[in-house]
């Protein structure tokens, strides 16, 4: 038995291809069938690494009786939220408006013209507490459609109207020059610090997400404000580092295989939701590179290397792209691949077991449901001192143990791999590789960033210059969304910075023009979907940060930096309008607008425009190793009038360095040391 999903490429949709439910993908055929048969549409949204999606499938969608009722009374559509985030966002907003909460699986009922009127998340096969069973929901909705059709349609109209109103929430279009200032930067920092967990790191209590944008803001605030005696700089740095350290020491970080899980279910970062997403690892590597540049702690470099080793080993497609995710489950159990029994570890490690188990909190009773999740409770130096053993000796024992457990774990049944390649997530990882090269000087990271970018341009680009969102089996599909383009432009700018190759800048300029043409709502913000997307009931304007940065926030930064690069004043002015419109929201709610805050902070501090002329290769690498978060730079061995930053720049000595900022240029200098001194003034 199979349904209409059998020819899809999404692993999530293929998981449901043999359900007795007559699932369709989101397509014209299904939408027309709903109108022709006058049946409500049931849209069920999830993703391959979603634990509760698997549970609901097993309990309800594989049940023949339940499936029969669904087939008789509804047109049933399955959506992979990672393939169609635009639809997911719309219907998630609707369910949150109805119920006050959301999540996945997301189950929402639509009228024949795609307007939502009822929905929820997971429904069990039998009622639990206040949560009705799935069959109860199906019966109630079916009866309401038959007997209260007018009420259903009115509810759908109200919800759709709410979705339109939601598009403008929090944005200020009146007033000019409402830009981030020093007092507001302090206020945003203080709000983050008040919500911070001063003992375990991170922000708030369980469940805990990495919140890399908030950490990034604290690092940048510290770096820029550390000389100001009335700032929160030192507290900001300590909270940022504490958050990274506690994650690195916790179970959210895979101590055996590298890489980070999605989030922690507890305050201490011990028990992760074991799925591993490409974008989380990209964002964490990026913020770890910034921490490493600031304090040069070798621990951060080790984690950067180990995480990128994991990405290379388990998430890289042979053609150069990166896969989307690893499932949380294996053999029907969440986390089974990653946890350890005490006796199992003793048996594998032999004489090294005593020290290894003490360091990684492995005990006979276990630290989670009778099993052990490896974590570190004490810094290596303190642990070694307590044992009265040299650090190198203890570290060698731990490294041997990790290798043995890696070998042992490789024989287990692995979690499922979501092997689709998503443009936006790939370019976030591309940025991580570029930043890892800048921070560490490891040439392999630059080469991987270049190879990946070349693959993305070849695999995702259409003949008309537009890009698609997802790729698999040598085929890309679904028109790219705002964040795909915004992150791609950001990655191109980062790649130009670390490689010195200005062709990446040229591509970024072309793509920026395309975004302005296809996504503009007005002269300020951008829609999430392009003008070519015809099958959504609302063109949403994404302004909040979610698991990844807001596409509008990143586009504002792109316009600001590219406008400065290319002397396009209209782009800089549009960025200023965008930051002005979001200023009050980002200051009041920095945890929800961290990307906006980081980028507005850059505009407040101003861009350092660095130009290297002449014999610049060694100097470029030396500059890249520095923490210069608010900078752009170009390098050339000759004058080039094509680029405003290079125009009329003379080579006065073998290496000549120019520094400009806020429409003013300093006298050229002839060493990196002198440049750094000038930047620190």
- Give the Cβ contact number of residue 604 at 10 Å: 16
Question: 411 near 355, Cβ under 8 Å?
Answer: no
Selected residue with higher pLDDT from 488 and 680: 488
Q: What is the pLDDT of residue 112?
A: 95
pLDDT in tens, 195-246: 999 999 999 999 999 999 999 999 999 999 999 999 999 999 999 999 999 9
User: Bridge-partner residues for 273, per DSSP?
Assistant: 263
- CATH code of residue 445: 1.50.10.10
Domain shared by 523 and 567, yes or no: yes
Closest to 327 in 3D by CA, of 248, 417, 246:
417
In a domain, 162, yes or no: yes
Q: What is the pLDDT of residue 169?
A: 60
Tokens of 554: 């990143």
CA dist., res. 522 & res. 512, Å (int): 15
CA dist., res. 278 & res. 19, Å (int): 28
In a domain, 498, yes or no: yes
Calculate the CA dihedral of residues 617, 454, 563, 664 and round it to 10 degrees.
0
Report phi then psi at 373, rounded to 5. Answer: -105, 125
User: Bridge-partner residues for 322, per DSSP?
Assistant: 316
Q: Which stretches within 38-124 are classed as H helix?
A: 51-56, 64-73, 85-99
Question: 262 near 283, Cβ under 8 Å?
Answer: no
CA dist., res. 119 & res. 180, Å (int): 39
What does pLDDT average to over the chain?
Answer: 94
In a domain, 4, yes or no: no
Say if residue 412's pLDDT is above 90.
Answer: yes
DSSP code at position 415:
P
Average pLDDT over residues 51-80: 96
Positions of E strands within 19-149: 24-25, 41-46, 75-80, 106-110, 116-120
Tokens of 206: 């369980």
Closest to 658 in 3D by CA, of 618, 623, 621:
623
Domain boundary among 106, 136, 166: 166
Angle (nearest 5°) at CA 132 between 131 and 136: 170
Domain shared by 560 and 642, yes or no: no
Domain shared by 452 and 558, yes or no: yes
In a domain, 177, yes or no: no
Domain shared by 303 and 353, yes or no: no
Domain shared by 566 and 542, yes or no: yes
> Mind spelling out the 3-state secondary structure of 620-677?
HHHHHCCCCCCEEEEEECCCCCCCCCCCCCCCCCCEEEEEEECCEECCCECCHHHHHH
| Bond preceding residue 207 cis, omega within 30 of 0 | yes
Q: What is the pLDDT of residue 174?
A: 56
Question: 57 near 124, Cβ under 8 Å?
Answer: no
Say if residue 7's pLDDT is above 90.
Answer: yes
Per-residue buried b or exposed e for 363-397, using 16+ beta carbons within 10 Å of the residue's own CB: eeebbeeebbbbbbeeeeeebbeeeeeeeeebeeb
CA dist., res. 492 & res. 483, Å (int): 14
pLDDT in tens, 283-308: 999 999 999 999 999 999 999 999 99
Domain count across the chain: 4
Question: Kind of pairing, strands 325-326 and 417-418?
Answer: antiparallel
pLDDT in tens, 319-350: 999 999 999 989 888 999 999 999 999 999 99
Say if residue 571's pLDDT is above 60.
Answer: yes
Question: 409 near 254, Cβ under 8 Å?
Answer: no
Q: Tell me what percent of the residues of the chain surpass a pLDDT of 70.
A: 98
Domain boundary among 109, 138, 166: 166
| Whole-number Cα distances in Å, 221 to 76, 286, 586 | 49, 16, 14
Average pLDDT over residues 313-324: 97
Angle (nearest 5°) at CA 20 between 19 and 24: 70
Domain shared by 357 and 469, yes or no: no
Q: What is the pLDDT of residue 241?
A: 98
- CATH code of residue 127: 3.40.30.10
Which residue range(s) make up the domain with 269? Answer: 182-332+418-605
CA dist., res. 470 & res. 47, Å (int): 14
Report phi then psi at 199, rounded to 5. Answer: -100, -45
In a domain, 172, yes or no: no
CA dist., res. 628 & res. 290, Å (int): 9
| Whole-number Cα distances in Å, 298 to 132, 303, 305 | 52, 9, 11
Domain shared by 601 and 612, yes or no: no
In a domain, 218, yes or no: yes
Closest to 47 in 3D by CA, of 15, 81, 18, 24:
81
In a domain, 234, yes or no: yes
pLDDT in tens, 419-458: 999 999 999 999 999 999 999 999 999 999 999 999 999 9
Domain boundary among 395, 411, 427: 411
124-133 long-range contacts (CB < 8 A, ≥24 apart) are 124/59, 125/59, 125/60, 125/63, 125/66
In a domain, 194, yes or no: yes
Closest to 97 in 3D by CA, of 191, 24, 160:
160
Question: 257 near 265, Cβ under 8 Å?
Answer: no
Question: 167 near 208, Cβ under 8 Å?
Answer: no
Closest to 30 in 3D by CA, of 47, 13, 15:
13
Tokens of 406: 């890696």
- Is 23 in a helix, a strand, or coil? coil
Say if residue 400's pLDDT is above 60.
Answer: yes
Domain shared by 139 and 253, yes or no: no
Q: What is the pLDDT of residue 178?
A: 85
Domain shared by 373 and 477, yes or no: no
CA dist., res. 69 & res. 73, Å (int): 6
Question: 13 near 78, Cβ under 8 Å?
Answer: yes
Domain shared by 436 and 490, yes or no: yes
pLDDT in tens, 143-174: 999 999 999 999 999 988 888 877 666 566 65
Domain shared by 37 and 94, yes or no: yes
**Could you tell me the pLDDT band of residue 176, with boundaries at 50, 70 and 90?**
low
Domain shared by 80 and 123, yes or no: yes
* DSSP string over 466-487: -BEEEEETTEEEEEPPHHHHHH
Say if residue 177's pLDDT is above 80.
Answer: no
């Amino acid at each position: 038995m199979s349904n209409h999903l059998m020819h899809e490429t999404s692993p999530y949709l293929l998981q449901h291809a043999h359900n007795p439910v007559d699932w369709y993908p989101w397509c014209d055929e299904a939408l027309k069938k709903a109108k022709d048969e006058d049946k409500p549409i049931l849209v069920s949204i999830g993703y391959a690494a979603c634990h509760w999606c698997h549970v609901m499938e097993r309990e309800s969608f594989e049940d023949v009786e339940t499936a029969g009722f669904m087939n008789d009374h509804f047109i049933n559509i399955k959506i992979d939220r990672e393939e169609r985030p635009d639809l997911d966002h719309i219907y998630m907003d609707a369910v949150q408006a109805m119920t006050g909460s959301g999540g996945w699986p997301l189950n929402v009922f639509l009228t024949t013209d795609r307007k939502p009127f009822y929905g929820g998340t997971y429904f069990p096969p039998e009622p639990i507490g206040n949560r009705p069973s799935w069959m109860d929901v199906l019966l109630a909705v079916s009866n309401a459609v038959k007997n209260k059709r007018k009420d259903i349609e009115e509810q759908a109209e109200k919800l759709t109207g709410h979705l339109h109103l939601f598009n403008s929430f929090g944005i200020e279009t009146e007033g000019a020059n409402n830009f981030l200032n020093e007092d507001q930067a302090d206020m945003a920092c203080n709000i983050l610090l008040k919500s911070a967990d001063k003992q375990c790191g991170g922000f708030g209590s369980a469940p805990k997400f990495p919140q890399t944008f908030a950490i990034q803001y604290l690092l940048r605030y510290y770096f820029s404000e550390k000389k100001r005696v009335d700032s929160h700089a030192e507290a900001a740095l300590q909270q940022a580092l504490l958050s990274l350290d506690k994650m690195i020491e916790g179970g959210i970080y895979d101590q055996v295989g590298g890489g980070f899980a999605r989030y922690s279910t507890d305050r201490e970062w011990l028990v992760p939701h074991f799925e591993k997403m490409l974008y989380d690892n990209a964002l964490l590597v990026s913020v770890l590179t910034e921490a490493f540049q600031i304090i040069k702690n070798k621990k951060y470099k080790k984690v950067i290397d180990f995480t990128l080793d994991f990405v290379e080993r388990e998430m890289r497609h042979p053609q150069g792209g990166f896969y989307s995710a690893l499932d949380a489950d294996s053999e029907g159990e969440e986390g089974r691949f990653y946890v350890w029994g005490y006796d199992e570890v003793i048996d594998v490690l032999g004489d090294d077991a005593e020290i290894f188990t003490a360091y990684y909190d492995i005990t006979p009773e276990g630290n989670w449901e009778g099993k052990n999740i490896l974590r570190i409770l004490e810094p290596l130096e303190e642990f070694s001192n307590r044992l009265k053993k040299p650090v190198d000796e203890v570290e060698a024992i731990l490294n041997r143990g990790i290798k043995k457990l890696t070998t042992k774990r490789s024989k287990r049944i692995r979690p499922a791999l979501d092997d689709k390649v998503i443009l936006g997530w790939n370019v976030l990882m591309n940025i991580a590789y570029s930043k890892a090269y800048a921070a560490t000087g490891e040439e392999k990271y630059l080469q991987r960033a270049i190879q990946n970018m070349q693959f993305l341009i070849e695999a995702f680009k259409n003949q008309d210059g537009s890009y698609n969102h997802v790729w698999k089996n040598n085929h890309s599909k679904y028109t790219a969304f705002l964040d795909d383009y915004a992150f791609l432009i950001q990655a191109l700018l980062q790649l130009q910075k670390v490689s010195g190759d200005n062709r990446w800048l040229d591509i970024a300029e072309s793509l920026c023009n395309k975004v302005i043409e296809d996504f503009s709502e007005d002269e300020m913000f951008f829609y999430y979907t392009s003008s070519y997307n015809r099958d959504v009931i609302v063109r949403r304007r994404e302004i909040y940060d979610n698991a990844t940065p807001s596409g509008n926030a990143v586009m504002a930064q792109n316009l600001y930096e590219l406008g400065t690069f290319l002397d396009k004043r209209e782009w800089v002015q549009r960025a200023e309008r965008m930051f002005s419109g979001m200023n009050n929201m980002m200051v009041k709610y920095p945890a929800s607008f961290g990307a906006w805050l980081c980028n507005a902070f850059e505009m407040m501090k101003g861009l350092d425009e660095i130009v290297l002329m002449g014999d610049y290769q060694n100097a470029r690498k030396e500059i890249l190793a520095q923490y210069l978060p608010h900078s752009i730079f170009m390098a050339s061995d000759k004058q080039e009038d094509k680029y405003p930053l290079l125009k009329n720049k003379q080579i006065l000595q073998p290496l000549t360095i120019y520094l400009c900022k806020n429409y003013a240029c300093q006298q050229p200098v002839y060493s990196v040391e002198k440049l750094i001194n000038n930047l620190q003034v």
